[in-house]
Structure 1
Amino acid sequence: MTNEMKANIGVVAADSLRSMGLVAILEETAGVVAYPLKLDDVCSAPDLDLVLLDLQEPLDGILHTITHIRRERPSLKPVVMGDPLTPDQIQSVIGVGAKGFLLRSAGVSEISMAIEIILDGSIWAPRKVLARLVEAGTAGAESLAPPVQHESIEEMITGREREVLHLLMNGRSNREIAAAMGIEQATVKAHLGRMLRKTRAKNRVELTLRAMEQKEQDDE
């Protein structure tokens, strides 16, 4: 998320202390305004960009909740926090319209990074699930040409872009990459945009997964 972007995030959690903690974590991200919400008020809350749902209910209940939110507010980005699910179950949650899935035990850095990536238009989920979504063409925002497979990503990009890519592969957010490289977040996004065009990856998720797969192949 760039410094100029603003985002209003609602937090739904059964426990008020947990809700306050999640709000505090989210507001550490530049441009984010977070506040607690009741589930019944999600669809009527004004100017809401994303809702973080800390749901303590069975899978069927989660799917029903996401389906209802997406039907009533198609532009809203729901993100689910919950107990461990199988890859198939997480894929079902994403399939009905959630933009991300986080374990309830997720740490501060993971939550912040996930929210930033989702606000940038990608999806957050375990790597195995993301790989399936990329293969199905559903893990990103914009649609570009099919990926080029005959040339490695490392060969397509410049040294500076390679630094950005390696930090992406280490799970860093745009803000963390900018701090590590001593550059602005806008510059990070510019590097990322050029890499997406060169590699014809649909989004940062696909770019990162492809780069990691190629690295694993090279290491074998």
Structure 2
Amino acid sequence: MNEERSSEGRVRIGLVATDPLRLLGLETIFADDARLELVPVAESETLELTGYALVVIDAGYTDHLFELLTVIRARYSRLKVIVVGIESDPSYIQRVIGAGAKGYLTQMAKESEIRMAIDIVLDGSVWAPRKVLAKLLESSESSGGSGALETPKITSRELEVLRLLVAGRPNRDIALSLGIDAGSVKAHVGRLMRKVGVDNRIALTMQAVERKMLGNESSDSE
């Protein structure tokens, strides 16, 4: 059994917060989701985060958020983290993502946005406001020194997957929309990333928009 799943096979998500109402709110949102098991993480000097696939951290939990994220990144390299905070300034959110978080939500986020963020991060991507993602991509491209690239040819099925990916849909939703399984969606996304020359879904999404790939379809079969 994967240690990041419960004995029933559900994905384990830790909730790190001091506000009982916030904990209750998050637990209520996912009470009817049989895929996930939400577990409040016991407060301690050193958070024990072994056995979780993802952890949601209330920024108000600590006065040293960035130090905490650095420690988590060093100690739990596979753990995905989403931060919930009151800040909405893009530069602050960019610092949070840069410190190791895979997602950021404001405390005013709607239930649908919270659900989407967790699905997207569990799929291996990053969740943040579009402006923040664009800046992160620009930084990555400037450090890599890549120039203008030819727009790749993609199949009709890849185009369908790409359009839903750009719309912010997680693998599970894409699979349901197209009538295929999540494994096939993951394989299509992997091929798209190789064709575009990027190594993550966010870069793929941004490149698809920048290079106007959503109208680009080859005559190749799936």
Is the TM-score greater than 0.5? yes
Matched residue pairs, number? 204
User: In the alignment, which residue of structure 2 is the partner of 1:10?
Assistant: 14
Q: Indicate whether 1:106 and 2:127 are aligned.
A: no
Match of 2:29 in 1: 25
Distance 1:12 1:86, change over 3 A: same
Q: Counting helix residues as a fraction of each chain, which structure ranks higher?
A: 1
- Structure 2 length normalisation: TM-score? 0.77
**How big is each residue's C-alpha offset from its partner over 1:61-120, in whole Å with a ceiling of 9 and x where there is no partner?**
322332343344344322101113321111111222222111112223322222222223
- For 1:150, what is the secondary structure of its paired residue? coil
Contact conserved, 1:7 with 1:31, CA < 8 A, in 2?
A: yes
Cα RMSD of the aligned pairs, angstroms, is 3.0
Unaligned residue ranges in structure 1 (runs of 5+): 139-144
Which of 1 and 2 has greater Rg? 2
Give the partner amino acid of 1:176.
Answer: D
Indicate how the Cα distance of structure 1 residues 148 and 161 shifts in structure 2: closer, same or farther if over 3 A, else same.
farther
Instruction: Compute the displacement of 1:27 (Å).
Output: 6.0
Tell me the residue number matched to 1:61: 64
Residue of structure 1 in register with 2:79 after alignment: 76
- Report if the CA contact (8 A) 1:146-1:200 is conserved: no
Distance 1:26 1:134 in 2: 31
TM-score normalised by length of structure 1: 0.78
**2:94 is paired with a residue of what secondary structure?**
helix
Partner SS state of residue 43, structure 1: coil
Aligned: 1:97 with 2:100: yes
Which residue of the partner structure matches residue 3 of structure 2? Answer: none
Q: 1:75 to 1:204 in 2, by over 3 A?
A: closer
Runs of at least 5 residues in structure 2 that lack an aligned partner in the other structure: 1-8, 216-222
**Structure 1 position 158, deviation (Å):** 0.8
In 1, Cα distance between equivalents of 2:183 and 2:20: 36
Instruction: Indicate the SS of the match to 1:10.
Output: strand
Which residue pairs with 1:164 in the alignment?
161
Give the C-alpha shift of residue 125 in structure 1: 1.4
1:198 paired residue among 189, 195, 200 = 195
Which residue in the other structure is 1:44 paired with?
A: 48
Could you report, residue by residue, the CA deviation over 1:139-170 in whole angstroms, capped at 9, with x for unpaired residues?
xxxxxx987843335xx211111111111111
The answer as to whether partners of 2:123 and 2:171 remain within 8 angstroms in 1 is no
Greater relative contact order (CA < 8 Å, ≥ 6 in sequence): 1
